[in-house]
Chains A and B, each alone.
Chain A
Amino acid sequence: MSAELKDNVKGLFGEFGGKYVPELIIPALEELEEAYDKYKDDPEFQEEFNYYLKQYVGRANPLYYAERLTKKLGGAKIYLKREDLNHMGAHKINNALGQVLLAKRMGKKRVIAETGAGQHGVATATVAAMFGMECEIFMGAEDVKRQALNVFRMKLLGAKVTSVTDGTQTLSDAVDAALRNWVERIDDTFYLLGSAVGPHPYPTIVRDFQSMIGEEAKEQILEQEGRLPDYLVACVGGGSNAIGLFYPFVEDKDVKMIGVEAAGLGVDTDKHAATMAKGRKGVIHGFKTYVLQDDNGQIMPVHSISAGLDYPGVGPEHSYLKDIGRAEYVSVTDDEAVNAFQVLCESEGIIPALESSHAIAHVLKLAPELDQDQVIIMNLSGRGDKDVYTLADRLGVEL
């Protein structure tokens, strides 16, 4: 492991990351860091985590050879890491489970979380229900509208859903609201952050709690193909499903890693969320990273058809992987993602999340350019039931 990636004592990935938070939050971060250091290698913690991952989440999930899609595209072999088959239908549950076990050990009684697509909100509400914790989810009012199904699921699971009407009323504003609430209730509340973002130690914790994706995939591809893949492809909102897949392969220099961001209506319009393509270095939500901002350093409103990619920053480890040239970041428009969604439905009988559809859209471009003996692993981060209304709307179908 390269020095910077492993030895991130201050939470730095190169120049990215850090702890840019009000003094009030520092003690909570220190408490979290201490707890994490104590438990991350604790056999009893790991055993409990692995037990629930297996018996409750249903891991290991398959690495599925998408034969029809591969044939259709006529290039590299495409494997799908089936995070969509996890309990509740996305990779978010992995991290939520890890963090709630930590919260429990820290004696916290209440968990809060931000959510965009609602997947992380559902995951958090799920683990809170499991462990009998009070749960409040902050969600941008715009997302509450687009993800009504997930809002109802959270409520069924016993969570309180607070609609955030600040700013563009999307994920970024939900993070602000959750952080503010954490500040107000810092003594009894655990902030269960849903992506590989935020102040240290969150990006490290979330990455570690998602790394089984890449670890399993590595084992599975060695079993099925007898070799490592040529490409890893994953969508990037904050970057948790992508870093979970990438991280165990970082030292395997021949494995190329591609993160796919949301280009919305196009990166040259003002309606996109392509942070790597159009962002500059800055500080958002407590960490240094690439940020979509205007000339004055104001965070810009972002847009994507998929609420989970609608974020003006990106995890600090991704910014570092980009700068050292270890990973590449591309973007895909709303239209391309909608098309890819349909392609996967029809070719493989899998309804993917709109977030994951961005990764698929890139695979549709990449695979035909590669040889038939090359291998792509794509992270199918979630299933698309939550997105059928958006799709219907898009396709002019009345449900």
Chain B
Amino acid sequence: MSRIATTFARLQDQGQQAFIPFLMTGDPTLELTKELVLEAERNGADIIELGIPFSNPLADGPTIQRAGKRSLAHRTNLKDIFKLVKEIRTESQIPIVLMGYFNSIFNYGLERLINSCEEVGVDGLIIPDLPMGEDEELRALSNEVDIISLVALNSSPKRIKELAENSQGFIYAVATLGTTGERGEVSKEVKAKVEEIKSLTSTPVAVGFGISKPEHVKEVASFADGAIVGSAIIKRLEDNLELLPESEAEFINSVGEIVSTLTSPLN
């Protein structure tokens, strides 16, 4: 079983849901990303999503766009990211999923990418601009790495059925009709969508986009298998960048704190 499947199985046995924070790799530095991953794990993260920065992040709102920019300022690339995951693996076995745009991956080479993932211990890939219909080649190449499908609120029943049948690792239910970013509340349609997906597959379903408060996490956990939070964490990170470089420990701590606050409803 993959690390992702094992994690969900364990949580399900305990009647718990996964907390999945998103961090932009290299924001603000690769060294700090490593520390933040470990800190997030200590504060209750079950799976980590690491962003691959891209010049044109179509699915992202302003907060994650800015995180990508900070990372690209020092030209973070996939090679750096794989090296980082390798280092993290010496200290942690937390499932790691990379999230990035298809051009980064296409440019790196699909086969080479899958090999690198397997070699260093990346467990899954989320590629928002590689929908069903375009992802077949990547799926065919991948054995151990889960290619995680995204389902949108407006996906047709026919597509959801097909997506569910081909799903690996977990299904990413996109909770907004829009881009990433903090939102006031979780839309009512999300629950129905997750239930529709769950009626079609036993693959766990995690909800992301717009999940930004402990109340949201609590609500999502009542019907899904996991909650994914990106912008709210990055916003905190951003607000505390001024602590660097003097008070590194305090900076790392502040990100741990928000992770801990967000996971509190799950324990």
A positions within 8 Å CB-CB of B: 10, 18-24, 26-27, 30, 166-167, 172, 176, 179-180, 183-184, 186-187, 280-286, 288, 291, 293, 295-299
Contact = CB atoms under 8 A, between A and B. Distances in A.
A315 B107 CA distance: 19
B56 A183 contact: no
Contacts of A20: 102, 129-131, 134
**The 10 A-B residue pairs with the shortest CB-CB distance in the complex, in nearest-first order:** A297-B107, A24-B152, A296-B77, A298-B55, A184-B178, A23-B152, A299-B55, A283-B103, A297-B104, A23-B150
A395 to B, nearest CB: 34
B177 A26 contact: no
A21 B151 CA distance: 13
B72 interface: yes
Given A296-B75, A297-B107, A298-B72, A22 B59 contact: yes
Nearest to B72: A298
A179 B57 CA distance: 11
Candidate in B54, B106, B128 with the most chain A CB atoms within 10 angstroms: B106
Given A22-B131, A184-B177, A296 B155 contact: no
Contact of B128 (A22, A166, A282): A22
Nearest to A282: B103
6 contacts: A20-B130, A24-B174, A167-B56, A179-B58, A283-B101, A284-B56
A10 B133 CA distance: 9
B30 interface: no
Given A176-B56, A298-B54, A22 B150 contact: yes
Contacts of A296: 75, 77-78, 104, 107
B112 interface: no
Contacts of B178: 24, 180, 183-184
Nearest to A180: B179
B2 interface: no
A299 B103 contact: yes
Interface string B137-156: 00000000000001111111
Contact of B108 (A18, A21, A297): A297
Candidate in A26, A288, A293 with the most chain B CB atoms within 10 angstroms: A26
A284 B150 contact: no
B131 A21 contact: yes
Interface in B79-110: 101-108
A23 B131 contact: yes
A298 B103 CA distance: 8
Contacts of A281: 106
A142 B72 CA distance: 22
Contacts of B78: 296
Contacts of B10: none
Interface residues of B, number: 38
B159 interface: yes
Interface in B36-93: 54-56, 58-59, 61, 65, 72, 75, 77-78
A380 B264 CA distance: 64
A30 B133 CA distance: 12
A22 B177 contact: no
A281 to B, nearest CB: 8
B159 A299 contact: no
A23 B156 CA distance: 10
B68 to A, nearest CB: 10
A211 B105 CA distance: 35
A183 B177 contact: yes
A283 B154 contact: no
A23 B103 contact: no
Nearest to B66: A166
A180 B101 CA distance: 15
B265 to A, nearest CB: 27
Interface string B158-191: 0100000000000000100111000000000000
Given A20-B134, A21-B129, A282 B58 contact: no
A23 B151 contact: yes
A271 to B, nearest CB: 17
B131 A293 contact: no
Contacts of B104: 296-298
Contacts of A19: 131, 133-134
A298 B100 CA distance: 12
A294 to B, nearest CB: 9
Contacts of A298: 54-55, 72, 104
B58 A176 contact: yes
Contacts of A179: 58
A328 B184 CA distance: 52
B154 A27 contact: yes
A26 B150 contact: no
Contacts of A172: 56
Contact of B131 (A26, A183, A297): A26
Given A186-B177, A296-B78, A22 B58 contact: yes
Given A10-B133, A282-B107, 16 more contacts: A19-B134, A22-B150, A23-B155, A23-B159, A24-B153, A27-B156, A167-B55, A176-B58, A180-B61, A186-B154, A280-B107, A296-B75, A296-B77, A297-B54, A297-B105, A299-B56
Contacts of A295: 77
B23 to A, nearest CB: 19
A268 B108 CA distance: 24
A297 B103 contact: yes
Contacts of B59: 22, 24, 183
Nearest to B79: A296
Contacts of A285: 56, 58
A30 B159 CA distance: 12
Contacts of B177: 24, 183-184, 186-187
B14 to A, nearest CB: 31
Given A172-B56, A184-B179, A291 B103 contact: yes
A22 B152 contact: yes
Contacts of A26: 131, 133, 152, 155, 159
Nearest to B61: A180
A172 B55 CA distance: 11
